[in-house]
Structure 1
Amino acid sequence: MKSLVTGATGFLGSAVMRCLLTAGHEVRVLVRPGSNRKNLENFQVEITEGDLLDHESLKRAVSGCDNLFHVAADYRLWVPDPQTMHEINVTGTQALIIAAAEAGLKRIIYTSSVATLGLNSDGLPADEETSANLATINGYYKRSKYQAEQIVKKLTDDHRLPLTIVNPSTPIGPGDVRPTPTGRIVVDTLMGRMPAYVNTGLNIAHVDDIAYGHLLAYQHGKPGERYILGGDNMMLLQILQTIDAINQVPVNRIRMPVNLMLPMAWCMEKIATFTHTEPRATLDSVQMAKKLMFFSSAKAQRELGYQYRPAIEALKDAIRWFKENGYCK
């Protein structure tokens, strides 16, 4: 049983790769030339070089495989050129799914995101039926993932593909080499760079639990269905205070009104256009902070047997990994 994993050099993709290896899958990984391969070290995987924008490399990658776990995505809250993100997340996804379908793969698991779902105005956790539309979604990343999921759904319906969609929430844990925007929150908190907070909320899950949810979706997921893979709903202040407690460094923080953050984020984005570094706050991320991004994994628990550990365990593992790998110097 050979499974192709995209995004295995990244955070969630590497966790999916490890999970599949533990489950006895033979794993091939699609890797861009020159990418950081730290997360592949010491794992027995077959490496094939390619790119989501190179359609011929996608055909070579799926050839001889039984399954596809498409985890790769351009996950950034700010990009100097949004078209590049669109091409990777939307056009590249479409090309890969078509290549997998033409190759006759038995199972396809597509990693979408809770970013494609709507949010409830009363703060109650959203589920797979909470609708969204492109006009109400903030940010290039969220819009690209929404568009990609719509294309994947249409391909699945039109061609009756053996494809299941999973919608991870916010993964936390070891192996966040870049790190991701959420991983930067953990590192910045450890480094004393989070003196203020906004009154928002996130759904936090251990990256290994989300990865195992991919395996469960492969084993039990229904074609054409989507499943939220999440964890605990937590206010941002609660997350920061939990990190402080684990780190044994209490911090007094001030609550920052969201609207006061907007001009600061605007300035950070303008500076980023000259420095070419991702800003710590963006206009889109501040706009998102106006709502509680809470989600329910009840469907995945009921239909897949999905379970998740307490969020504090995810934060402990992330903190340990960041410290051991020199991110907190």
Structure 2
Amino acid sequence: MTAQHEEDELAQGDLVLVTGATGFVGAAVAKAARAAGYRVRVTARQSSDRRNLAGLEEQAVYLDLAEPDSFPAALKDCRYLLHVAADYRLWVPNEAAMRKVNIDGSIALLRAAQRAGVERSIYTSSVAALGLTDDGSPADETTLILPAHHVGAYKRSKYDAEQEVRRLAQEQDIVIVNPSTPIGPGDVKPTPTGQMVLDAARGKMPAFVDTGLNVAHVDDVAAGHLLALTQGRSGEGYILGGEDLMLRDLLALVAELSGRAAPKLRLPLAPLMPLAWAMERIAERTGKTPLMTPDILRMAKKKMFFSTHKARTELGYAPRPARQAVEDALIWFRKEGRLT
């Protein structure tokens, strides 16, 4: 198969392995692949929350990125791999454990896919692995990457993993996708962003910091994975983003759709640093995820704005407005009884 794929070259009914389908983005990818006519096999660990596998339970197989012996059986007879699984946490007590999964596990899985005869793999990276502009303008796939951009264990692991995947793509057919900040239905955990939306909808976010992020509907991110499978070029990366918003504007949007007043208080970052440091020290002793850490505050100094031009022009990616993502997330949270 050549690096440039046309959609009609993919026979409907081909078996696709989707890792991470118990998670927010992975579940959306698995459902989108099934809706597109692929036969879908999903992976789960024994300890995974399986609520997102509704309708896919019979296709679930065991796979743990920390256990390479679990790879061959999961990959058997698969034509394509959509590798979405990752350890996504903004704070971890043990960075080495995260790196073992996000870097070592991902590379081992992609190599195992090649040995198993998988024709093309999609590797889900993150905009966290990309560079940022100094002036806050949207970054793209070519923006210069500096070490200062990769604050925190997760960002470092995703950057290092993507560099390894790019080298591996010289030997096998791999397309990289870089989702931004997904919002929408199916956020069962929820993700840190989903929790923020929930808190804002409950009136528990009275203040904000001066930062910005790129918001994408989770179903658009899922659709982008399938577009990358059919249209992407091997070794290339594609930002699967949506709309750039200041945090205050996102919270105001959530408040509007929830019938609440928008937060008015802007918190300066510098005075929060001692509190964040103390919270992290407490977390190290208790093992409980802190509300705030110095790394989170350092990340907030940069606006995480991104351009989707490459994905739009090469893949046909067409993200919807952030309002739709927030609306659909709130509808789902209400249906699940998280909002009353």
TM-score by length of 1: 0.96
- Displacement of 1:45 in angstroms is 5.1
Match 2:318 to one of 307, 314, 328: 307
Aligned residue number for residue 5 of structure 2: none
Aligned residue number for residue 143 of structure 1: 156
Q: 1-side partners of 2:322 and 2:217: how far apart? A: 7
Give the letter aligned to residue 127 of structure 2.
Answer: V
Per the alignment, in what secondary structure is the counterpart of residue 123 of structure 2? strand
- Displacement of 1:50 in angstroms is 2.0
Q: 2-side partners of 1:83 and 1:61: how far apart? A: 25
Is 1:21 the counterpart of 2:34? The answer is: yes
Per the alignment, in what secondary structure is the counterpart of residue 233 of structure 1? strand
Is 1:181 the counterpart of 2:192? The answer is: yes
- Displacement of 1:318 in angstroms is 0.9
Per the alignment, in what secondary structure is the counterpart of residue 73 of structure 2? helix
Q: Aligned Cα RMSD in Å?
A: 1.3
CA contact (8 A) 1:26 1:45 kept: no
Q: 2-side partners of 1:16 and 1:141: how far apart? A: 21
- Displacement of 1:135 in angstroms is 5.2
CA distance 1:21–1:286, change in 2 (3 Å): same
Match 1:232 to one of 239, 243, 264: 243
Match 1:325 to one of 317, 323, 336: 336
- Displacement of 1:30 in angstroms is 1.3
Aligned residue number for residue 10 of structure 2: none
Aligned residue number for residue 110 of structure 2: 97
1:243-281 Cα deviation digits (max 9, x unpaired): 000001113421111112212221222222233221122
CA contact (8 A) 2:123 2:176 kept: yes
- Structure 2: tracts of 5 or more residues without a match: 1-13
- Displacement of 1:327 in angstroms is 2.8
Is 1:79 the counterpart of 2:111? The answer is: no
Q: 2-side partners of 1:10 and 1:252: how far apart? A: 30
1:106-163 Cα deviation digits (max 9, x unpaired): 1100000001111111111000001214454101000000010011111111x1x111
Q: 1-side partners of 2:146 and 2:301: how far apart? A: 18
- Displacement of 1:314 in angstroms is 0.2
Per the alignment, in what secondary structure is the counterpart of residue 124 of structure 1? coil
Per the alignment, in what secondary structure is the counterpart of residue 175 of structure 2? strand
- Structure 1: tracts of 5 or more residues without a match: none
Q: 2-side partners of 1:181 and 1:252: how far apart? A: 19
Give the letter aligned to residue 65 of structure 2.
Answer: L
Per the alignment, in what secondary structure is the counterpart of residue 130 of structure 1? coil
Give the letter aligned to residue 299 of structure 1.
Answer: K
Output aligned runs, 1:147-158, within 5 Å.
147-157=160-170
- Displacement of 1:236 in angstroms is 0.2
Aligned residue number for residue 129 of structure 1: 142
Match 1:222 to one of 199, 216, 233: 233
Q: 1-side partners of 2:133 and 2:22: how far apart? A: 34
Is 1:298 the counterpart of 2:309? The answer is: yes
Q: 1-side partners of 2:281 and 2:339: how far apart? A: 27
Q: 2-side partners of 1:154 and 1:279: how far apart? A: 35
Q: 2-side partners of 1:28 and 1:252: how far apart? A: 43
Quick check: 208-217 or 128-137, which moved more? 128-137
Aligned residue number for residue 205 of structure 2: 194
Per the alignment, in what secondary structure is the counterpart of residue 289 of structure 2? coil
Q: 2-side partners of 1:278 and 1:178: how far apart? A: 14
Is 1:167 the counterpart of 2:178? The answer is: yes
- Displacement of 1:324 in angstroms is 2.0
TM-score by length of 2: 0.93
Q: 2-side partners of 1:61 and 1:282: how far apart? A: 37
CA distance 1:260–1:45, change in 2 (3 Å): farther
CA contact (8 A) 1:62 1:100 kept: yes
- Displacement of 1:288 in angstroms is 0.7
Output aligned runs, 1:227-266, within 5 Å.
227-266=238-277
Aligned residue number for residue 117 of structure 1: 130
- Displacement of 1:16 in angstroms is 0.1
CA contact (8 A) 2:252 2:263 kept: no
CA contact (8 A) 1:134 1:146 kept: no
- Displacement of 1:220 in angstroms is 0.3
